């Protein structure tokens, strides 16, 4: 499955607009752009999709560390 | 994928090589029952079947007869050539059969795959099984090939449909994200807890809360698993109950009738025992003395004879006594009358008569001094003397008393003989009794047969097999008890889970408060955000599945309505439910009030084929490839006016289909069969039609002559 | 008391060996084997039942057939006094038939009256009387057996029919009456 398609499916969830108050224009429509987003929820999902789709075998610890380091610094 | 050609050689009724060429669109194969329609279907299935059994049964009997028995080797094969993408692929399964002494020996079936690339390069593949699944994936094939209506009902299984939908839904793919998100949430929670512990002023309370939360989560998870098991059980029981409910009414009357039959049989066998007892005619000649039925004249003869002998003996005795000068005897003989034996009447009777001066033998007065009185008196004296005389024996004519014993036999049987007269009527009574019991038996047998016919009807009306009704009833009662128990357990578990969840929420609140006060804000925020990521992955996955179900339902309804040409036949509903983590999809046809719509046989087939076509379209959308649908005889419940819509729905919704039908075959008075002209009407869509039929040399019931041939129409 | 019957029933009457096949084919072995498979279709439980049957059949049909002088005689070593006694729960005792046999033999032995007088006088022995009675019994039985043989062999009497033996007895009532009216 195309990673952009997956990403778009996730960010279409109502939490993104309802809880995080994001407008359509805030939401990038591909992973590459989302990875440089400054919105934590968008970037987190982008990292998750990007890492998993690029490297199916990535282990959970590595992936978590990557995400948590980013979040702990930027949230 | 398109099927271009199927070649069937020496397989079942197909003797020799038989080529079926197919085109895109609707391909129709006609065939009367027994002419090779189903064998065509089975031949294709055989290519995909790795479970080999009874290969000998697959050989054309005509080939066995004409070739193998003559020592000629025969190859049995089914070959399918398809186009897929830009390639042409051929898969062939075959085996060789040859004569071995008097039996047939068979080689292992082999599979050959040939790939012809776009460039025209053509080669045999190393792994034909892989080519085979490339052509027609087993999971897709399951929903592409249907042999008759019952196969179509595969959709009534909740799991079958969900398995299929999951296969094509992105949900399956997205599902992989859920465990990752769960892991992140766990790690974030741990980080928060670790930080909380370090900073906690109320360290002890914090530790307790953390532990309680962990315990409660574990408990809830355990209880949920338990509840899930109960839900699964309830579901299973519920579907069993539904199945039983259709037949349970029948099962009850079946049992009542069976009980009635049992009672009748018991009565019959009791009567038969009684009849048998009464039918020992030869034995009863003896045991019941029936042999004496004609005895009376014999007895009379005996009685007379013995009486005479006895009389003769007494006369001789008297004469003898007379000869030796017994005066009294002479007097007694003066009238030539033979006196009664001495001692008759008895002494006491004599004394009584003398006392009363009355002869009670002739009922005449015998006053004292009269001749009669004197006679009686003398007679008594005679007796007394005779008795006294016996004491000192005197000379006598007779030494033995055998005759007397014979008289006694005669006397003692007098009464019995009167019973003999009744014997004949007793015998005929017995006959009458037997006859009327036999009539009773016949009546009971008739009644039993009626009940049996009734019971046969009951069985015919449902799918109860003989003997299972009792089991069904017992099971049904058991199921009802079970479901009650299961529901009780489910309710109590749900209550426990809810109260634990409340407790958990409470503890979590307390802990959160401590965290907010003690833990760095970013850790809390990270935890919250990752929680949201989890929610998003779970719900998105769910939505994907739901979307596909909704889409499929919509598609199926569109097709269903078009085949019904405006007639209202209810709406197809696909109900999604969850059992544990497993999705289930239930297929139903409902009316506007969401009540089950009662479909007739044809409507049911149409509903199923509509869903099938919708699935086929879904597969095409999701897999970017369409697969042919192959259906065997789904029309048997159809009115002919339904045909056009039916065929049209296939034309519109599939790229290729092969439909096997028996419905347009007609037979003239010479038993010659042909395709009915109604089939050629323009409103029945067909891109190609073929006709499989037994050739002229095939003789009914002579399997070695059977040969199906294929004719292009 | 001098009981002729008691003396008589201690003896065993005889039959013509030429008719032995009837006993073999119509009676069950031993008399006790009610359930013996081989004996299915054999209609008399034992030899004396057939003997009694044949006697009455001969008697009722007035078939007094003298045994040929050259006849080899057979008996089945079972004195009359035991005939009809049974311990089987399935059967009734019919020893009372012995008396009827006796009476019939007396009734049908011509001139037995004189012999009986002589017996009582002591001039003839019980043995001599018994011998005369046996001749009567054996000849009627012989007559009955011959009649039965004829019915089976010449008139195709189906002995597997349950009523076949009873019917022969019932039919002979007609015979008896005819004979009586002639006399």
**Last residue of some domain: B488, B520, B552?**
B520
The pLDDT tens digits of the residues spanning C59-89 come to 999 999 998 888 888 888 889 999 988 877 7
| Interface subset of C 17-56, CB within 8 angstroms of B | 43-45, 49, 52-53, 56
| Cβ count within 10 A of residue B590 | 14
Chain C residue at shortest CA distance from B304: C107
pLDDT at B580: 66
Instruction: Decide: residue A59, CB within 10 A, 0-12 exposed, 13-18 middle, 19+ buried.
Output: exposed
Question: Is the model's pLDDT at C54 over the cut of 50?
Answer: yes
**Last residue of some domain: B626, B653, B684?**
B626
Sign of the CA dihedral running C63, C64, C65, C67:
positive
> Do A64 and B173 make contact, defined as CB atoms within 8 angstroms?
no
Does B212 lie in the same domain as B228?
yes
The pLDDT tens digits of the residues spanning C102-156 come to 999 999 999 999 999 999 988 899 999 999 999 999 999 999 999 999 998 888 8
Report yes or no: B546 at the A interface, CB cutoff 8 Å.
no
Question: Is the model's pLDDT at B304 over the cut of 50?
Answer: yes
Indicate the number of domains in chain C.
1
Q: pLDDT tier at C37 (50, 70, 90 boundaries)?
A: very low
pLDDT at B205: 80
Task: Please state the rounded mean pLDDT for residues A36-54.
Answer: 90
B342 versus B107: which is more confidently predicted?
B107
Residue of C27, C64, C100 to mutate when probing chain B, most B C-beta within 10 A: C100
pLDDT at C179: 62
Q: pLDDT tier at B93 (50, 70, 90 boundaries)?
A: very high
Element (H, E) at B78: strand B74-84
Task: Please state the rounded mean pLDDT for residues B120-143.
Answer: 87
CB B77 within 8 A of CB B93: yes
pLDDT at B4: 95
Task: Please state the rounded mean pLDDT for residues B164-183.
Answer: 84
Strand B14-21 with B2-11, pairing: antiparallel
Cα–Cα distance, B327 to C31 (Å, whole number): 61
Does B123 lie in the same domain as B40?
yes
Report yes or no: A16 at the B interface, CB cutoff 8 Å.
yes
Does B383 lie in the same domain as B438?
no
Q: Helix/strand/coil (H, E, C) string of B442-465?
A: HHHHHHHHHHHHHHHHHHHCCCCC
Q: How far is CA B105 from CA A20, B387, B705, in A?
A: 75, 114, 21
Q: Is B106 part of a structural domain of the chain?
A: yes
Question: Is the model's pLDDT at C2 over the cut of 80?
Answer: no
Q: pLDDT tier at B90 (50, 70, 90 boundaries)?
A: very high
CB B50 within 8 A of CB B138: no
Give the CA dihedral C42, C48, C52, C55, nearest 10 degrees: 100
Cα–Cα distance, B94 to B92 (Å, whole number): 7
Does B491 lie in the same domain as B449?
no
Mean pLDDT of all residues in chain B? Answer: 83
pLDDT at B650: 87
Instruction: Locate B73 and state its tokens.
Output: 């080797």
Choose from A18-32, B5-19, C13-27 the range with maximum mean pLDDT.
B5-19
> Do C104 and B397 make contact, defined as CB atoms within 8 angstroms?
no
Does B475 lie in the same domain as B435?
no
Does B303 lie in the same domain as B289?
no
Element (H, E) at B215: helix B203-278
Task: Please state the rounded mean pLDDT for residues B398-425.
Answer: 85
Q: Helix/strand/coil (H, E, C) string of B243-290?
A: HHHHHHHHHHHHHHHHHHHHHHHHHHHHHHHHHHHHCCHHHHHHHCCH
CA distance A75 to chain B (A): 6
Instruction: Locate B503 and state its tokens.
Output: 């407790």
Indicate the number of domains in chain B.
5
pLDDT at C31: 42
Residues 6+ apart with CB under 8 A from C54: C15, C22, C140, C141, C142, C143, C144, C145, C148
Q: pLDDT tier at A10 (50, 70, 90 boundaries)?
A: very high
> Do B313 and C120 make contact, defined as CB atoms within 8 angstroms?
yes
pLDDT at B468: 65
CB B30 within 8 A of CB B84: no
Question: Is the model's pLDDT at B3 over the cut of 90?
Answer: yes
CB A67 within 8 A of CB A47: yes
pLDDT at C42: 67
> Do A68 and B188 make contact, defined as CB atoms within 8 angstroms?
yes
Which residues are paired to B91 by β-bridges?
B80, B113
Which residues are paired to B17 by β-bridges?
B9
CA distance B508 to chain A (A): 21
Residues of B in contact with C94 (CB under 8 A): 286-287, 289
CB B525 within 8 A of CB A75: yes
Does B307 lie in the same domain as B278?
no
Residues of A in contact with B533 (CB under 8 A): 41, 44-45, 48
Residue of B180, B539, B547 to mutate when probing chain A, most A C-beta within 10 A: B180
Domain holding B45, by residue range, is 1-136+628-713
Cα–Cα distance, C19 to C146 (Å, whole number): 8
Q: How far is CA C11 from CA B396, B402, B491, C107, in A?
A: 31, 17, 94, 19
Task: Please state the rounded mean pLDDT for residues B251-259.
Answer: 79
B9 versus C179: which is more confidently predicted?
B9
pLDDT at B247: 65
Apex CA A10: angle with CA A4 and CA A14, to 5°? 140
Does B596 lie in the same domain as B552?
yes
Does B514 lie in the same domain as B401?
no
Element (H, E) at B432: helix B402-460
The pLDDT tens digits of the residues spanning C135-146 come to 999 999 999 999
Chain C residue at shortest CA distance from B417: C100
> Do B402 and C163 make contact, defined as CB atoms within 8 angstroms?
no
Q: Do chain A and C touch: 3 or more Cβ pairs under 8 angstroms?
A: no
Task: Please state the rounded mean pLDDT for residues B125-133.
Answer: 91
Does B31 lie in the same domain as B97?
yes
Residues of B in contact with C121 (CB under 8 A): 397-400
The pLDDT tens digits of the residues spanning C8-24 come to 999 999 999 888 888 88
Task: Please state the rounded mean pLDDT for residues B548-556.
Answer: 88
The pLDDT tens digits of the residues spanning B15-43 come to 999 999 999 999 999 888 888 888 898 89
Does B129 lie in the same domain as B15?
yes
Would you mind telling me the total number of residues written for chain A in this entry?
Answer: 75
CB B645 within 8 A of CB B564: yes
pLDDT at B392: 47
Question: Is the model's pLDDT at B48 over the cut of 50?
Answer: yes
Instruction: Locate B43 and state its tokens.
Output: 């031949």
Out of B299, B313, B400, closest to residue C122 by CB: B400
Percent of chain B past pLDDT 90, that is, above it, reads: 20
Question: Is the model's pLDDT at C38 over the cut of 50?
Answer: no
Task: Please state the rounded mean pLDDT for residues B600-611.
Answer: 81
C169 versus B459: which is more confidently predicted?
C169
Q: Which residue has the tokens 């919250």?
A: B528
> Do B522 and A41 make contact, defined as CB atoms within 8 angstroms?
no
């Amino acid at each position: 499955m195309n990673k952009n398609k997956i990403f778009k499916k996730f960010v279409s969830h109502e939490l993104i607009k309802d809880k995080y108050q994001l407008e359509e224009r805030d939401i990038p429509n591909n992973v590459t752009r989302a990875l440089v987003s400054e919105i934590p929820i968008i970037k987190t999902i982008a990292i998750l999709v990007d890492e998993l789709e690029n490297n199916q075998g990535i282990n959970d610890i590595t992936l978590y560390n990557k995400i948590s380091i980013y979040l702990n610094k930027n949230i | 994928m398109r099927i271009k050609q199927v070649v069937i050689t020496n397989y079942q009724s197909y003797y020799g090589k038989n080529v079926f060429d197919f085109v895109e669109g609707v391909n129709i194969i006609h065939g009367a029952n027994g002419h090779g329609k189903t064998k065509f279907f089975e031949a294709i299935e055989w290519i995909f079947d790795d479970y080999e059994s009874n290969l000998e049964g697959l050989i054309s009997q005509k080939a066995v007869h004409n070739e193998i028995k003559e020592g000629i080797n025969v190859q049995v094969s089914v070959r399918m050539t398809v186009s897929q993408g830009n390639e042409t692929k051929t898969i062939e399964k075959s085996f060789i059969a040859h004569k071995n002494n008097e039996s047939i020996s068979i080689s292992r079936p082999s599979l050959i795959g040939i790939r012809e690339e776009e460039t025209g390069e053509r080669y045999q593949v190393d792994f034909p099984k892989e080519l085979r699944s490339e052509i027609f994936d087993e999971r897709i094939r399951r929903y592409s090939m249907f042999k008759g209506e019952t196969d179509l009902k595969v959709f009534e299984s909740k799991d079958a449909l969900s398995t299929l939908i999951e296969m094509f839904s992105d949900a399956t793919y997205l599902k992989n994200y859920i465990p990752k998100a769960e892991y992140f949430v766990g790690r974030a929670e741990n980080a928060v807890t670790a930080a909380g512990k370090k900073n906690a002023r109320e360290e002890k309370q914090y530790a307790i809360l953390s532990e309680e939360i962990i315990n409660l989560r574990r408990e809830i998870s355990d209880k949920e698993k338990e509840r899930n098991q109960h839900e699964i059980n309830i579901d299973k029981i519920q579907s069993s109950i539904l199945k039983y409910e259709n037949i349970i009414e029948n099962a009850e009357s079946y049992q009542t009738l069976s009980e009635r039959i049992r009672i009748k049989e018991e009565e019959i066998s009791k009567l038969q025992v009684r009849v048998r007892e009464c039918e020992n005619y030869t034995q009863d000649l003896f045991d019941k003395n029936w042999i004496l039925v004609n005895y009376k004249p014999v007895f009379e003869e005996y009685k007379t004879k013995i009486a005479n002998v006895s009389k003769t003996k007494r006369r001789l005795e008297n004469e003898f006594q007379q000869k030796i000068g017994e005066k009294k005897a002479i007097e007694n003989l003066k009238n030539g009358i033979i006196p009664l034996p001495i001692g008759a009447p008895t002494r006491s009777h004599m004394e009584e008569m003398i006392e009363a001066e009355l002869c009670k033998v002739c009922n005449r007065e015998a006053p004292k001094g009269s001749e009669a009185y004197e006679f009686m008196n003398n007679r008594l004296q005679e007796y007394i003397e005779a008795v006294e005389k016996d004491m000192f024996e005197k000379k006598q004519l007779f030494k033995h008393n055998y005759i007397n014993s014979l008289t006694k036999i005669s006397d003692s049987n007098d009464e019995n003989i009167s019973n003999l007269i009744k014997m004949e009527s007793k015998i005929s009574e017995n006959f009458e009794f037997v006859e009327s019991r036999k009539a009773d038996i016949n009546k009971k047998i008739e009644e039993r047969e009626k009940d049996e016919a009734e019971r046969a009807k009951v069985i015919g009306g449902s799918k109860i097999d003989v003997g299972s009704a009792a089991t069904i009833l017992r099971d049904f009662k058991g199921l009802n008890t079970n479901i009650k128990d299961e529901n009780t357990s489910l309710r109590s578990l749900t209550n426990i889970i809810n109260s634990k969840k409340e407790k958990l929420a409470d503890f979590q609140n307390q802990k959160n408060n401590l965290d907010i006060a003690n833990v760095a804000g970013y850790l809390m925020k990270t935890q919250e955000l990752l929680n949201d990521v989890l929610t998003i992955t779970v719900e998105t996955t769910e939505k994907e599945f739901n979307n596909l179900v909704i889409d499929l339902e919509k598609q199926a309804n569109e097709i269903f309505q078009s085949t019904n040409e405006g007639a209202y036949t209810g709406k197809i509903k696909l109900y999604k439910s969850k059992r544990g983590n497993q999705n289930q999809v239930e297929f139903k046809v409902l009316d506007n009030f969401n009540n089950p719509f009662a479909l007739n046989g044809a409507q049911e087939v149409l509903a199923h084929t509509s869903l099938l076509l919708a699935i086929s379209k879904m597969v095409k959308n999701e897999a970017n490839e369409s697969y042919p649908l192959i259906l065997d005889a789904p029309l048997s419940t159809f009115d002919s006016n339904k045909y056009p819509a039916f065929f049209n729905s296939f034309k519109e919704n599939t790229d290729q289909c092969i439909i096997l039908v028996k419905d347009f075959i007609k037979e003239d008075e010479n038993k010659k069969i042909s395709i009915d002209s109604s089939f050629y009407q323009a409103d029945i869509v067909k891109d190609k039609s073929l006709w499989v039929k037994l050739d002229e040399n095939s003789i009914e019931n002579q399997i070695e002559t059977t040969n199906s041939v294929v004719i292009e129409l | 008391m001098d009981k002729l019957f008691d003396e008589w029933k201690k003896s065993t009457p005889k039959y013509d060996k030429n008719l032995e096949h009837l006993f073999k084919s119509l009676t069950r072995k031993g008399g006790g084997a009610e359930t013996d498979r081989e004996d299915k279709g054999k209609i008399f439980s034992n030899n004396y039942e057939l003997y009694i049957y044949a006697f009455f059949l001969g008697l009722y049909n007035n078939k007094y057939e003298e045994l040929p002088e050259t006849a080899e005689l057979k008996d089945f070593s079972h004195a009359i006094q035991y005939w009809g006694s049974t311990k089987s729960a399935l059967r009734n005792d019919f020893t009372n038939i012995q008396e009827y046999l006796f009476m019939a033999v007396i009734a049908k032995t011509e001139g037995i009256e004189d012999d009986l007088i002589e017996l009582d006088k002591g001039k003839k022995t019980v043995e001599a009387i018994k011998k005369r009675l046996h001749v009567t019994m054996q000849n009627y039985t012989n007559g009955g057996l011959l009649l039965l043989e004829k019915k089976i062999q010449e008139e195709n009497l189906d002995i597997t029919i349950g009523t076949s033996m009873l019917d022969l007895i019932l039919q002979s009532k007609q015979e008896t009456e005819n004979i009586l009216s002639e006399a």
